[in-house]
Amino acid sequence: MIRHLLPVCRLPVQRFSTTIDDVWSKLKFLPMPQLSPTMHTGTIEQWHMRPGDVAEQYRLCVEVSATTLLKESDSTEKIHMEVEIMEDMHLAALLHRPGDTVDVVA
C-alpha cells in the first residue's frame, strides 16, 4: 500500500538515460497537501491530467477534499482545494483514483 503521497509521479521535462535506475532516480512524488492543522487524510475528487501529459508550472492537476475538526467545537468542516503543478513535468502515473483517501504528509 502506498501511503502519504498524492497520487502522481512526475518526471522533469528533460532527456534521461533509459536505465531503470536512472528513471527511478528522477521520479518525484507530490505529497497530499495539508489543508488545515487537523487534516490527516484527503480524498481525490477529480484528476485534470492523465499519464503522459506534459504540464507547465501552475497547471491544474487534481482536486482534493477533506473533512476537518473545528477546534472551537465538535463540529466538522468540509474543505475543497484545486492543486496546481509547481514545476514543469511529465506525468508518469496516477497512483490513486478519484474517491481514494490518501494520508497527508506533514
Q: What is the pLDDT of residue 45?
A: 94
24-73 pLDDT, tens digit each: 777 778 888 888 888 888 999 999 998 888 878 888 989 999 888 777 77
Q: What is the pLDDT of residue 99?
A: 94
Q: What is the pLDDT of residue 23?
A: 67
Alpha carbons within 13 angstroms on the beta-carbon side of residue 83 total 22
CB 64 within 8 A of CB 79: no
Percentage above 90 pLDDT, the chain: 15
Q: What is the pLDDT of residue 14?
A: 52
